[in-house]
Structure formats: C-alpha cells, structure tokens
Amino acid sequence: MTPASPARLKSSHALEVSAVGLTYRTSSGSVEALRDITLDVAEGEFVTVVGPSGCGKSSLLKLILGLERATRGRLAVGGREIAGPSRGVGAVFQAPVLLPWRTIEENVLLPADVMKLDRPSATERARALLQMAGLGGFEQKYPYELSGGMQHRAAIVRALVHDPKLLIMDEPFAALDAITREQMAGELQRVWMDSRKTVMFITHSISEAVFLSDRIAVMSPRPGRIVAVFDNPAPRPRTFADLLSPELARLSAEIRQSLDLACAA
Amino acid sequence: MADIATTKPQASEAAPPGRVSGAAWRILERLLSLAILLLVIEGGIRGFDVPAYVFPTPSSIAVALYEGVVNGNYLSALAVTLTEILVGFTIGSTCGILLGIAMVQVPVLDRIVYPYVVGLQTVPKVAIAPLMIVWFGFGISSKIFIVALTCLFPSLINTIAGLRAVDSDRIALITAMCGTRTQLLRYVQLPNALPYIMAGLNTGIVLAVIGAIVGEFVGAKTGIGVLILQANFGLDLASMFAALVLIAVTGVVLNLVLRLIETKLCFWSGKATK
Ligand SMILES: Nc1ncnc2c1ncn2[C@@H]1O[C@H](COP(=O)(O)OP(=O)(O)OP(=O)(O)O)[C@@H](O)[C@H]1O
Ligand SMILES: [Mg+2]
C-alpha cells in the first residue's frame, strides 16, 4: 500500500518483455502473431495495450500467463523468467468464466483450492474483496443469478483472491454495455488505488485506456508490434468527465491518430 | 453500485381456490387419458369378440395382475428382477464411468480399448447370454453380468463426451492458476460431464430392464422374465400382459427416480453463464 510517487516507478520491473516474437505453427502454415515486442512495466504501474482486432493482444497476455511459449525474446515477471503459469499472476479474461455449479464465493475461492491455500484465511479475504466489489450478500448465489456486470466483478475478485503481484486483464468489460463499462472501470480504478497491483490491461476503447492507465501502448495490425507508448500523468482518482479536459482530450486524439496510422500502414 | 436483490415471485403459481393445481391437473390428465384408452380397447375387444388367446381385455389383465400380486408370485419375482437390474446397473455404470475417465486421461488407453468396447457393444446381448449362463449358472449372477454389460456402453460414451466437451476458456482458467490435470478433472471436467453422465444413466437404466428380462428368457429360476415365459407357454395372455405391465412400470419408475436425481445434481444445467 505504498502511495504513488515518481520514485516508485524507478524501482525494479514487475514485468519485462524484451524483443519477444511469437509465431503460431498450424497445419495450414505459420502465423506470425507478434514481432519484436519490448515493454517493461514497473511495480504498481497500470499499463494498457490498445490495438486493432487480431493484432496479437491476447497472444501477448497468453505469453505473460505462461499459457504459450515465445518463439523469440525473453519475458520475466518480478525478475524471474516465465517458464509456465505462475502463482504471482492473476488473470481476468474477456468472459467471466465462472463455473455454474459453484456459488460466487466458491468460484472466487477456486484459485485458493487449486493452489491449496489456507481455506479459512482465503475465505476471509474473498469475503472482504466481494464486499469491496459490491457483491456483499451474493456470496451464496450462483453465477446465473447475477447480472453480467456482477459476474465480471466476481471474476476480478477471483483474480485477486490469491493476492498476485501482477494482474492481467484481457478486455474484461468488452461484453458490457457502455454505462456498466464506465462504472466497472471506475471500480477497477478504486480497487487498483487500494491494492496498488501492477496491471496489464487490454481494451479496444481509447477512453477506457486513458481513464485507467499510467501508460498506453499502441499496437499495429498483425504481426503485432508496439508502434507508440503514451504517458498519462493525470492525477487520480480520475472521472470520465476528466477525459474532456484539454490534456486528456489531446492524449486521446494522439492515441487515435497513432492507431489510425498503424492500421493504414 | 445499485445492487438489485433478486426477488422471487411470491407464490404466484399457487392455484386460486376452487381450482385444481398445476401438478395435480397434469397427473389427472394422464390418468384420464389412460382410462379412456383402456375403455376403448376393452370396448373394441368385447365388441369384435376377439378371443382371449389373441388379445386379452384390460380388465382381465387387471384381474391377473391383482391375483399375482395378492398371492405373492409377482412380488417375489419382481424382487429378483429388480435386484438384477439395480446391482447390474450399478456395476456396469460405475465401470463405464471409471473406464471413461481413464480413457480421457490416458490417450493410449483410448486408442487401444475403444475398438474392443465398440465391438462388445455391437454383439447382441442375447447372443452371448447362453454363454453367461454357462459361466455363471442359472442364478442371479449371470443376469447381473448381462445387465452390467448392457449398461457399460451408454455411461462410458457419455462420460467421455462430457469430459471432452470442456470450454477452452475453463481449461485456460485452471492452467493459469497452475492447476494440474487432476485438478482440471476434479474442478472442471467432472462437474461439466455430470449432465452427460446422467443422460447416459437414464439410457442405461432402461437398457438394464431389457437386459435383465433377456437374461431371464435364456435361463433363470425366477424373475419377471420367467413369469412371462410361463404365461406364454400356457397361452395365458392376461398373465403375460400383467407381467409386462409390471416390468414397464418398473422401468418408468426407475427412470423417473434418475431424472429427479438429475434435476437435483445438475440444477445449473441449461442456465446461461458466460
Ligand atoms: N492458437 C492459435 N493458433 C494459431 N493462430 C492463432 C492462435 N491464437 C491466435 N492466433 C492468431 O494470432 C493472431 C492474433 O490473435 P489474438 O487473439 O492474439 O488477437 P487479439 O489482438 O487478441 O484480437 P482481438 O482484439 O480480436 O481479441 C490472429 O491472427 C489469430 O488468428
Ligand atoms: Mg483478444
């Protein structure tokens, strides 16, 4: 719970991606998904990747999650090279992926079960997190009894329950309507400010990226490369109304321009 | 965040006073249609003077059923057949489920064992029943074996299908948590397969009833199958039909029990979650 300070950003990198390339080999030939990606994320930093569909954003996250091996380059979490899935990383996917036969509390405790963590203390933590996510009182409900937004919040709580250092989020709000989306982004900001996790976030929405991030990386179409990285030093907590301020409006315009350029190339 | 508590409709489905409730009406519906059907058959047989050795009247079947039940013949036979069905079903289905799990977990096993299982299923059980009698005798064990063989296949096939029909997102979820294959099986694949397995058991229990009767036809001391054969030899069609009614009701009841268990266990099945 260290307060945000410029000095913190100088500390060791929570995530290092250096010169990473990924080529999928399939029966119908090979697909180069990522080319020469270099991106370092500092401890406690919120970094967002935006890019056109199919540019390899999810592929990059799969590499970080250890679900896929890089063809070239090096990836490290907390200074340690990624060799497979790690307990220090929590993941939120595009869909909530809650198991329908488990209650919300049991779903949120799934990482604790899989990682064989102490159940009573994990339960306590899960309840506190659920409360914080506005899901207090829904612990014993089943996923189908919750709205789409609530299911997404439960998925985020599940990713946080084993207290990972790094949180990976792949378009977690893409399936939601615009109003719920902004609400969820607001809550994510609050959770992030409370916990100061390192977050790697993916979205198609520029406003969401600007609202949430310390830095925004723009990717080109396949093979995905990072064409530009933008800093967003605006103070927090931010609101969506802040996006209309001259600085953030200019930042949004620059990101859009860079995206358009990348796509036109 | 405005959390709207889910409210349940407050007994809105309760019947207004003076009206029959939904469930009672559905039962009444079935009983009424059955009664009408039986009356029509009864009338037809009597009207056209169909002899009793060609087709018995429903009333004579009812009388035969009543007498058989009262003198204890039917119930002791039913007890034997039911034991064969239940024990055979339990053994066969358990083996099917375990073999299915093993085959999904160990691909080599799948490649080697699967052709044999299909081959075994292709063989009509009537054809191997005499052999079973030779191996296990006229007692209950030969029938149990036949029933078990019959039930193995549906539970095996459905277990395999259920374990394999796992969403790739759910696999990624467990893998990203450093989950092992056994944990994937325990936390995702097995619960996911449950509705499939229950469907296999539903098929299996019906086949088990047939298997037990077929086994008893080929060779047995007692059982509903034996009663049917005896009635057949004596051209006592009323008794034969009574035994058939008994076995059909048994099948329906067993199937119903399994379906109740299914709705309890798979309460989440068919509910939309992303
Ligand atoms: N397992 C795979 N095998 C072969 N090719 C793949 C595989 N996964 C992804 N690809 C290819 O790699 C490219 C990048 O896919 P990826 O899912 O990373 O894109 P994305 O940026 O996440 O897209 P979206 O924004 O639509 O989610 C795509 O062209 C896709 O076809
Ligand atoms: Mg994607």
Alpha carbon separation from A140 to A144, B111, B170 (Å, rounded): 12, 43, 21
Q: A168 is written with which tokens?
A: 């990976």
Cβ–Cβ under 8 Å, residues B142 and B221: no
Domain of residue A110 covers: 103-163
Cα(B65)–Cα(B142) distance, integer angstroms: 28
- Asked if residue B36 is part of any domain, the answer here is no
Residue A67 with chain B: CB contacts under 8 Å: 172, 175-176
B177, B178, B273: residue with CB nearest A98: B273
Cα(A186)–Cα(A212) distance, integer angstroms: 8
- Asked if residue A155 is part of any domain, the answer here is yes
Q: Which residues, other chains included, contact B118 with Cβ-Cβ below 8 Å and sequence gap of 6+?
A: none
Domain of residue B187 covers: 72-265
Residue of A nearest to B7 (CA): A145
Neighbour-count burial of A144, counting CB atoms closer than 10 A to its CB (0-12 exposed, 13-18 middle, 19+ buried): middle
Q: Which residues, other chains included, contact B190 with Cβ-Cβ below 8 Å and sequence gap of 6+?
A: B101, B163
Residue B6 with chain A: CB contacts under 8 Å: 141, 145
Cβ–Cβ under 8 Å, residues A170 and A58: yes
Cα(B148)–Cα(B208) distance, integer angstroms: 8
Ligand 1 pocket: which residues have CB below 6 Å? A 24, 26, 31, 33, 51, 53-59, 222
A107 CA to centre of ligand 1 in angstroms:
28
A55 CA to centre of ligand 1 in angstroms:
7
Calculate mean pLDDT across residues A138-147.
Answer: 93
pTM of the model: 0.83
Whole-number average pLDDT of chain A? 89
Asked if A144 lies within 8 A of B273 by C-beta distance, the reply is yes
Q: B263 is written with which tokens?
A: 């709705």
Could you identify the residue written with the tokens 């990348």?
A262
Neighbour-count burial of B203, counting CB atoms closer than 10 A to its CB (0-12 exposed, 13-18 middle, 19+ buried): middle
- Asked if residue B91 is part of any domain, the answer here is yes
- Asked if residue B17 is part of any domain, the answer here is no
A-B C-beta contacts closer than 8 Å: 78
- Asked if residue A242 is part of any domain, the answer here is no
Tens place of pLDDT per residue across chain B (274 aa): 444 444 444 444 444 555 667 888 888 998 999 999 999 999 999 999 888 888 888 999 999 999 988 998 899 999 999 999 999 999 999 999 999 999 999 989 999 988 988 888 888 888 888 888 889 988 899 999 999 999 999 999 999 999 999 999 999 999 999 999 999 999 999 999 999 999 999 999 999 999 999 999 988 889 999 999 999 888 888 999 999 999 999 999 999 999 999 999 999 888 766 5
Q: What is the 3-state secondary structure (H, E, C) of chain B?
A: CCCCCCCCCCCCCCCCCCCCCHHHHHHHHHHHHHHHHHHHHHHHHHHCCCCCCCCCCHHHHHHHHHHHHHCCHHHHHHHHHHHHHHHHHHHHHHHHHHHHHHHHHCHHHHHHHHHHHHHHHHCCHHHHHHHHHHHHCCCHHHHHHHHHHHHHHHHHHHHHHHHHCCCHHHHHHHHHCCCCHHHHHHHHHHHHHHHHHHHHHHHHHHHHHHHHHHHHHHCCCCCHHHHHHHHHHCCCHHHHHHHHHHHHHHHHHHHHHHHHHHHHHCCCCCCCCC
Which has the higher per-residue pLDDT, A144 or A13? A144
A244 CA to centre of ligand 2 in angstroms:
28
**pLDDT for position B80:** 94
Nearest to A170 by CA among A49, A10, A15: A49
Mutate to test the pocket of ligand 1, among A48, A53, A57 (most ligand atoms within 8 A of CB): A57
Query: Residue A121, CB half-sphere, CA atoms under 13 Å: how many?
Result: 5
Alpha carbon separation from B143 to A13, B19, B193, B217, B248 (Å, rounded): 70, 49, 29, 10, 18
Which of A101-105, A148-152, B10-14, B204-208 is predicted least confidently? B10-14
B172, B179, B191: residue with CB nearest A99: B191
| Gyration radius from chain B CA atoms | 24
User: How far is the alpha carbon of A24 from chain B, nearest alpha carbon, in Å?
Assistant: 17
Say which CATH number the domain at B81 has.
Answer: 1.10.3720.10
Q: Does A91 touch chain B (CB under 8 A)?
A: yes
Cα(B255)–Cα(B252) distance, integer angstroms: 5
User: Number of folded domains in chain A?
Assistant: 1
- H or E, element range at A15: strand A13-26
Alpha carbon separation from A246 to A230, A234, B141 (Å, rounded): 16, 11, 86
**pLDDT for position A178:** 86
Condensed to tens digits (0 to 9), the pLDDT of residues A248-258 reads 999 999 999 99
Asked if B273 lies within 8 A of A143 by C-beta distance, the reply is yes
Residue A144 with chain B: CB contacts under 8 Å: 268, 271-273
Calculate mean pLDDT across residues A13-30.
Answer: 91
User: Number of folded domains in chain B?
Assistant: 1
Asked if A142 lies within 8 A of B268 by C-beta distance, the reply is yes
Instruction: Name the 3-class secondary structure at A193.
Output: helix
Mark out chain B residues that contact chain A at CB-CB < 8 A. Answer: 1, 3, 5-6, 167, 169-170, 172-179, 183, 187-188, 191, 194, 268-269, 271-274
Neighbour-count burial of B28, counting CB atoms closer than 10 A to its CB (0-12 exposed, 13-18 middle, 19+ buried): exposed
Condensed to tens digits (0 to 9), the pLDDT of residues A60-80 reads 999 999 999 999 999 999 888
A31 CA to centre of ligand 1 in angstroms:
9
**pLDDT for position A216:** 95
Residue A111 with chain B: CB contacts under 8 Å: 177
Mutate to test the pocket of ligand 1, among A55, A220, A259 (most ligand atoms within 8 A of CB): A55
**pLDDT for position B19:** 62
Alpha carbon separation from A110 to A67, A102, A114, A132 (Å, rounded): 18, 9, 6, 19
Whole-number average pLDDT of chain B? 88
- Asked if residue A186 is part of any domain, the answer here is no
- Asked if residue A179 is part of any domain, the answer here is no
Cα(A19)–Cα(A38) distance, integer angstroms: 5
Condensed to tens digits (0 to 9), the pLDDT of residues A153-212 reads 899 999 999 989 999 999 988 878 888 888 889 988 988 888 889 999 999 899 999 999
Residue A114 with chain B: CB contacts under 8 Å: 174, 177-179, 183, 187
- Asked if residue B125 is part of any domain, the answer here is yes
